[in-house]
Every structure is written in structure tokens, then in C-alpha cells.
Copies of this chain bind each other. A is one copy, B any other.
């Protein structure tokens, strides 16, 4: 199978979405001049060009794209060609209103924005296949073409009738019989027993809480229905160009797709990262997405979109201060990216995203934004040869599973404060601040290569996953489980005792009397630290080590338990405490930080033999780096320590 290397050919891809059809043709040569100036070697064409390519049903207007493909070829810039299927032309909604998605309360999502397609619409899928087929046929052999980009940020839901029919077929595949479905969904509760497949609907607006397993299955179905859309287009382009890689760009930690499953179907895993420049943990959040994406790719990956400056969809959209775009871009490379791309090349003057930045901002060539992009392009070119294709194995895996998230996010849960992404983020932050390099993994993955496995929260675990965790610990691994792990089975059926008995036994827990969720801002005292979000009234049974709650209703009861190499943490320790706990557990498991004695806010990442040192703060720092290195960015020789300016980066080669 082709991979990212077939597109990079040894260079870090640098560029972005290029939408020249929004500009007069006079702008194009200017674009090429600036691209060359900035070292752009890859552009993505055609992401939202359907109405341009097919202005009337069945029409084809390829001339403008022919011209652009040739222009890119002449300019030495590779093309990632997108199928335009994320935004159907207005005629489709008008002629085929059944292609429009229906919200859970029956409202229609009209055209006039984007992504106004029902994933389950046969008409939509037919038109999407046809335009994909013709694009692939026409450009499959074009020498500028390096990769296919299917659709864009798949993210839609549909509660309408055609989707309902597809949901039923999906359920028939999953359950076979209505009896099995009724059992899995627990429909004996609230008189929901189904006697006919036609009675089953997507979980539309109810009078009161929905069946949580129906909701869970609808999320599974939605991810799969979108995946079907992707696969149909992928298979078409793959038939035409079996030698070229295919991708679709993920949104990070997006609830709507099981990206573990999707990544298996991609030749290149790509992602869009838009951390908030004003978020003090923006760097860590980027690291989380990068670790996740690298783990999905099992090697180098593609940063498909980021913003050179502000986005335009937050309440207040802050620009990137000088140096931050470079820092975060090199951080992505450090964590495995072989492609650093942007939405978009030239900031739009019209439309809904004209205040979303581009590599060339409204300020144009003289603008600081473009000047920094240009510097970055040169630096990426300079380190390309030492970087691309290299990959580093880590000793730690954080487990993450969309199904567990989906199960936990139900309406009738114990606490609306215990937000899954926030909990995962808190654990990853602790590892990041401890300078412990980490992968992500699925709970059913082979974990044997890891010294330490961290489960921030996996509410729902299959029997196979539990087998896997037990085998991992039996095999010598160290396991840390956060609260609300192993509560439910695959059908969201609460396991007897409120937490799987084998997991409780593994970690030294006896009876779990009650969950004690905490209010927003409330804390619970534990011996040595404060806990947030959650606490539990439980008994130890066979634990080797117990840290108790102090004071309050839980005084003296176990908060943190260890039995052998298995840990259970029944609250969310405050950040420093969680960092220190993981540092200690990591040390016991033989895992060392990337570098010792790093100043606060400085991150060190190894990729292959290179060591990236990144200063996430605005103040200059000096970092101890034992030994002699060469900084690939400056060419300077570094002896035992390196000084970094504000947002500074060193790429050190021994």
C-alpha cells in the first residue's frame, strides 16, 4: 500500500489548502511567486469545488482545474487533490431535498453553509461517487498529483427517515434479531420493547431521557455511515491510482468518528489542529492531538490544517503572537508530522471564513504572518532530510476509545462535570508536564511493548478489552486506572458491583458502595493532595498500598489504591499531584523523562536520533542537554546546554 512517503519523497510537505477559484486568475502567478518564496511544495486543491466542477446536475467543468494542475506541475508544487463532496451544490438540495440532514428535533439543515448532506442519502452518495469517478479518471495520471483527500472533516449527523432506514439495516447487521436488540438495549425499561424493525428510529427528541444504548448505537452507526461514504470514494480513487495514498482529515478528539477504526482505512492519517493561541495549555493540547494522530498512523502523519494566525469560530479569536506558529509547527514535526499544512494559502476576502487567517493574510506579503510562514518554510526545508520517515517508540500508552466516551456521555449520568475529553486531557497534561513521552492506544490493542499503560477513564470496556488489560499486567506491565473505568459492558450494561469484578480484583478494590461526584469547583481532600470532579466510597480488598481520603464523609476510605503493578485512582488529583504520581509510577516501571531538569514550560521530544527542545514560554531559557549536539536550525554546535528565546526551538542532532 502507498503511504505518506510516496507524497513526501523525503521532504516535509509544506503548504495548505489552495482555493484559487475564489480569486481572479491574475492572482495565480502572484500565488506561485509567493509559494516559491515560502518554500511551499504541496497544495490541496478542490476541497469545496463541487458547484464549480458540476454547476448543473451531471455537468462537468474541469477546465479551470486542468489549468491549475498544470500550473502547480510547472511550479514544482505537488497537489493533494480533494473530492469536493463535503459541500453539495445548491441544486442538489433544491432538486433532492431528501439529501438534507434532519436534526434530532426535526429541523432541516439547509444549504447555504457547508456539509448539508445526509450521509445516508442514496442520491447524495450517487452524485458523490460520480464526481469522484470523473475526477479520478481525469487527474489520476496527472504528474502533479501526489495524494487524494476525500471529503473534509466528516462530522454530520442525520435523524431523518433515510438515515432511520440505514440505522435499521446497521442494527440488523449488528444484532440479527429483535430479541438480541431488545436485550442489548434493555428495552424492558420504560416499555420500549420493539416488535418490528420498522418501529426503530434514530434517537429523536423525546419527552424525557432517551435509551442510552440506542443513543450509543446511533453514534456507532453514524461513524460507520460516514465511513461508508469515505470508503466508497476511496475505493474509486484507489482503483484509478493504486500507487497514490488516500487520506481524509480528522478533527482532533471529534466525538463523531471512531478514528481508530477510520485510520485503518487510510493510507495517510491527517488531522487539523487549531489550539487556541490564548490557551496557556495550547501547547499541551497540540501535543495530545499529535500523540493521538501518530499513534493512529503508527508512524509519520500529516498536519493537514492549522492556522497561521487566528481562526474565526471562537467567541474571541486571537492571532498567534510572533513565533507561536513556528513553535507549534516544529512541535508537530517533533511528534512525527511529515507534513505541515494550513487552512488556507491565501486568506479569503469573501464568505464565512474571511476572518480565518491564511498563510498570506489580508496584510499580504509584507504582513508578519506571511513573513513568519516564509521563515518556517525555509527551516523545514533545512531539516527535512534528517526528519522525514523517522519514528520513535514510546514506553507509555494512554488508552482512549470513542465507544467508551460515547457510552459515558449519556443524559442520565451521575455528573455532567466529568467530561471525558477534559479528563483525558488532564491525564495527558500530567504526563506532558512530567516530560514522559507517550502514545495513545485502543484498549484492545497489543500493549505488551509498553512499560506503563494509563487509563484516564474508560467507562465502557468490552470483555476482550478487560482480558487485554489483565494479560498486560500479568505480563509485567504497570497499569493505572482512573475513576469510571470498567463500569459498563459493550451494550452499556452496568457490570455487577458497578465496576468489573476482575478489574476491581486486579487493583485491590472490594465493594464500591457509592460514587461521590463533586460539584463544579468542589474539591476533596486526599492525604497529600486535593482531588477534583469525583470521589468514591469504596473498600480496599487485597491492596498493597492505599492513600486515603481525609475528612468529610469519605474520611479514611481509600482514594488511591495499588495492588502489585495495578493502580486505581478514584478522584482526579490536582495537576501537580497527578504529575508527581505518574512520575513515581513511571520511575517504578522504568520509564524516564525525555530530559532531566527541564525548566517549566520547556518540552523535549525525541524523533529518531534528533532531540527537539521547545520553549513554550515567552521568556528566554537555558536548558541542560548533556553532550555535544548540532542545532539543525542554526547550524550551531551545542555543548551541554542550549539557550532558547521566547517560543524558541532547537533541533539537536548528536
Chain A residues close to B by CB (< 8 Å)? 19, 21-22, 48-52, 55-56, 84, 87-91, 93-94, 101, 105-116, 156, 185-196, 198-201, 203-214, 278, 309-310, 312-313, 315-319, 321-322, 347-357, 361-364, 366-369, 410-417, 491-494, 496-498, 511-520, 537, 553
Query: Among B199, B203, B319, which residue has its beta carbon within 8 angstroms of that of A537?
Result: B319
Are A208 and B114 touching (Cβ within 8 A)? yes
A110 touches B205 (CB 8 A): yes
A-B contacts, 14 listed (Cβ < 8 Å)? A21-B188, A22-B189, A55-B193, A89-B191, A90-B199, A109-B205, A110-B201, A114-B209, A189-B352, A209-B313, A316-B417, A319-B515, A349-B493, A356-B412
Residues of B within 8 A of A313 (CB): 209, 412
Q: Once the chains bind, are B114 and A416 in contact (CB under 8 Å)?
A: no
Nearest 5 A/B pairs, CB to CB? A186-B350, A113-B206, A189-B351, A362-B498, A51-B193
Q: In the complex the two chains form, is A108's CB within 8 Å of B108's CB?
A: no
On chain B, the residues within 8 Å of A209 by CB distance are 113-114, 313, 352-353
Asked if residues A19 and B114 are in contact (CB atoms below 8 Å), the reply is no
Q: Return A414 CB to nearest CB of chain B, in Å.
A: 5
Given contacts A156-B207, A519-B316, contact A84 B351 (CB under 8 A): no
Q: A189-B22, A193-B51, A316-B417 are in contact. Are A514 and B363 (CB under 8 A)?
A: yes
A30 to chain B, nearest CB (A): 12
Question: Is A350 a contact of B213 with CB atoms below 8 Å?
Answer: yes
**B514→A113 contact, CB < 8 A:** no
Given known contacts A205-B110, A362-B498, is B514 in contact with A193 (CB within 8 Å)? no
Contacts of A198 in B (CB 8 A): 94
- Tell me the nearest residue of chain B to A309, going by C-beta: B514
CB distance from A193 to the nearest CB of B (A): 4
Q: Give Cα A188 to B127, complex, Å.
A: 19
Q: How many Å from the CB of A404 to the closest CB on chain B?
A: 16
Is A113 touching B319 in the complex (CB atoms < 8 A)?
Answer: no
Counted per complex, copies of this chain come to 3
How many Å lie between the Cα of A50 and that of B187 in the bound state?
11
CB distance from A504 to the nearest CB of B (A): 11
Residue of B nearest to A352 (CB): B209
Cross-chain contact of A88 among B88, B94, B110, B191 (Cβ < 8 A):
B191
User: Once the chains bind, are B512 and A363 in contact (CB under 8 Å)?
Assistant: yes
A465 to nearest B CB, angstroms?
A: 19
Say whether B51 contacts A115, CB under 8 Å: no
Q: Which residue in chain B gives the minimum CB-CB distance to A182?
A: B51
| Closest B residue by C-beta to A110 | B204
In the complex, the answer to whether A195 meets B352 with C-beta atoms within 8 Å is no
| Residue pair A310, B354 in contact (C-beta under 8 Å) | no
Could you tell me if B352 and A94 are in contact, using CB atoms closer than 8 angstroms? no
Does B494 contact A354, Cβ atoms closer than 8 Å?
Answer: yes
A190 proximity list for chain B (CB < 8 A): 48, 87, 113-114, 351-352
Report whether over half of chain A's contact residues are helix, strand or loop; otherwise say mixed. loop
In the complex, are the beta carbons of A112 and B55 less than 8 A apart? no
* Chain B residues whose CB sits within 8 angstroms of the CB of A94 once the complex forms: 196, 198-199
- Whether B494 contacts A349 by the Cβ 8 Å rule is yes
Q: Please state if B352 and A19 are interface contacts (CB–CB under 8 Å).
A: no
Contacting pair A192 B350 (CB below 8 A)? no
Bound Cα distance from A19 to B186, whole angstroms: 12
What residues of chain B lie closer than 8 Å to A417, measured between beta carbons? 315-316
Contact B206 A110 (CB under 8 A): yes
Q: How far is the CA of A517 from the CA of B553 in the complex (A)?
A: 41
> A618 to nearest B CB, angstroms?
9
A201 to B200 alpha-carbon distance, docked (Å) = 32
Residues of B within 8 A of A493 (CB): 349-350
Q: How far is the CB of A466 from chain B (nearest CB, A)?
A: 17
Contact B412 A112 (CB under 8 A): no
State which of B186, B366, B411, B498 has its C-beta within 8 Å of the C-beta of A348.
Answer: B186
Closest CB-CB distance, A442 to chain B, in whole Å?
25
Is the Cβ of A106 less than 8 Å from the Cβ of B109? no
A494: chain B residues at CB < 8 Å are 347-350, 354, 362
Which of A21, A349, A517 gathers the greatest number of chain B CB atoms within 10 Å?
Answer: A349
Beyond A56-B195, A361-B514, 18 additional contacts (C-beta under 8 Å) are A89-B193, A90-B195, A91-B196, A101-B207, A106-B107, A107-B205, A111-B192, A112-B201, A112-B211, A115-B208, A186-B349, A188-B351, A313-B412, A348-B494, A349-B493, A350-B493, A366-B511, A367-B513
- In the complex, the answer to whether A112 meets B351 with C-beta atoms within 8 Å is no
Interface centre among A101, A316, A367 (most CB of B within 10 A): A316
Q: Are A108 and B363 interface neighbours, CB within 8 A?
A: no
State in angstroms the CA–CA spacing of A322 and B196 once bound together: 46
Residues of B within 8 A of A537 (CB): 319, 368
Complex: A91 Cα to B197 Cα, angstroms = 10
Does the CB pair B414–A351 fall under 8 Å? no
Partner of A191, one of B84, B101, B109: B84
- Tell me the bound Cα distance from A353 to B205 in angstroms: 17
- Contact in complex: B350, A201 (CB < 8 Å): no
Interchain nearest-CB distance for A56 vs B (Å): 5
Instruction: Collect the chain B residues with CB atoms within 8 Å of residue A112's CB.
Output: 192, 201, 203-204, 206, 210-211, 214
Contacting residues, chain B, for A114 (C-beta < 8 A): 190-191, 206-209
Query: Knowing A312-B413, A316-B417, A497-B363 touch, does A206 contact B56 (C-beta < 8 A)?
Result: no
Chain B min CB distance to A417 (Å): 6
Residues of B within 8 A of A52 (CB): 188, 191, 193
Tell me the minimal C-beta distance from A323 to chain B in angstroms: 10
Alpha-carbon distance between A368 and B330 when the two chains are bound, in angstroms: 54
List the B side residues contacting A56 at CB < 8 Å: 195
Contact B514 A319 (CB under 8 A): yes
The answer to whether B412 touches A50, judged by C-beta atoms less than 8 angstroms apart, is no
State the CA gap A101–B206 with chains docked (Å): 10
Chain B residues closer than 8 Å to A88, beta-carbon distance: 191
Question: How far apart sit A198 and B97, CA to CA, in the bound complex (Å)?
Answer: 13
